[in-house]
Amino acid sequence: MKTANIMKAVCVAGLAATCVWGLAACSSANANGLTGGVAATVNGSEIAEDDVTNMIQGIRSQMGMEGEDEWGQWLADNAMTPESVREQMIDSFVQQELIKQGAKEKNISVDSSEIDEIVNTMKANYENDEKWSAALEQANFTEDSYRENIENQLLQKKLTESFASDEEPSQEDLLQYAQMYASAYDGAKRSSHILFDSGDEATAQSVLDQINSGELDFAEAAKQYSKDNDNGNGGSAAKGGDVGWDKLNSFVTEYTDALSGLEKDQVSGLVTSDYGIHIIKCTDVFNAPKAAGEDGTETVTITSTDQIPSEFLDSIKASLKQQKQNEAAQTWFSEYKEAADIVINPMPQGLPYAVDMSKYTPAEGSTGATQNATDGTDSGNGTDNSDDAGNAGDSGDNAEGSTDGTGDNASGDNANSSDQPAEGGDAANQQPAEAA
């Protein structure tokens, strides 16, 4: 059995900012017991031992495990040792360096204006510079390290995108995935909305009354009255209020609750959310075709891609193309890493995280106890880095997510992203056009 991976364990603990492309976050920590020297080289580029130490110490600090016994017990419980942690951390730095080198070879770069845009967007979520600085400090960032983190993620994203293909998925694949996802799409509702300012209830009620009496067409009312019109793509107002299918978008809770009670062509009352006052119309409902078995049980049965709405098919098509792109990026990364000249130097003495593991026994039911019971191997003898090698294709969409936990903001990769409010995220991140 392979050892646990510290990146996975840390992420499970809720410290996503420390994972691979968040390396810059913890490297700013000041650790005692720095030794100097070089931990590894990647095609001649050096990885400082102190950077690795600071990273590990930063993780310990974020996990509240500065104490030797707390740290040693956690390592034992997770089938890790100081040696295996160092190996994994070095491997993460190696990945980061390989991405930089590979991007440079492909003439891929990130302009400072791209970083500025994301930083300024994130800063806008906070009332003043002091609160912004406090948020960075809480995430163990300086503004410089945060900018570096964004640059790394954008670089990775661009590198991954360089493997995009114009080749369309086969009809066989589309049908297979349509069959897989049809049950999840069953019962989906498409809707439109008209958004009013929160203080304009009188106008909203007047428009609703006219819609209900038949004096005013809903789509025309959306074009005339809706405030959802300023996201750069015209917003939903220009589309008669259409915000798409609920299964393809994430709506704020108030909107979702109101839509769930509507049947096709029904119009809601006034619905208030953080973005204002909504009037919602359910414009379509997808009921997946079903076949009854001998016992009378109905199961979703798709025999043709024509049986699902085109928007669902487009989403499936985009997912398949994204999957192919990621696989190509992962293959490239694995081959690039295999061909690289990577030298890992011996672990020096006196590192602050190098506790004596002979003092610690894995707690019953822990990963370490399970591993010892299974194969009795020394958890320091191997490192499971197989999953990390694929990070070149898997995590490039979260350039803005390191501080506030939101993702996909830098990429805009999702279908109909202009109409997607992020449920549960910072309100400042959601524009009225997204607040369906």
Mean pLDDT of the chain: 81
- Residue 132 to residues 88, 125, 135, 403, 431: CA-CA distances in angstroms? 31, 8, 5, 10, 20
* 172-226: pLDDT as tens digits: 999 999 999 999 999 999 999 999 999 999 999 999 999 999 999 999 999 999 9
pLDDT at 406: 26
Pairwise CA distance, residues 180 & 175, whole Å: 9
- Kindly state the tokens that stand for 179: 């069959």
* 234-261: pLDDT as tens digits: 589 999 999 999 999 999 999 999 999 9
Pairwise CA distance, residues 141 & 24, whole Å: 7
Contacts 24+ apart (CB under 8 A), 209-214: 211/267, 211/279, 212/267
pLDDT at 138: 81
pLDDT at 425: 33
Which residues lie closer than 8 Å to 124 by C-beta, 6 or more apart? 428
* 372-389: pLDDT as tens digits: 666 544 444 433 443 443
Sign of CA dihedral 326, 331, 337, 339: negative
Pairwise CA distance, residues 27 & 7, whole Å: 15
Within 10 A of 14 (CB to CB), how many other CB atoms are there? 10
Q: How many residues does the chain have?
A: 436
Pairwise CA distance, residues 186 & 429, whole Å: 30
Low-confidence ranges of the chain (pLDDT < 70): 1-33, 230-234, 372-436
Q: Please spell the DSSP secondary structure of 268-308, one letter per residue.
A: EEEEEETTEEEEEEEEEE----EEE-TTS-EEE----GGGS
Q: Among all chains, which residue has been given the structure tokens 């040696």?
A: 83
pLDDT at 8: 52
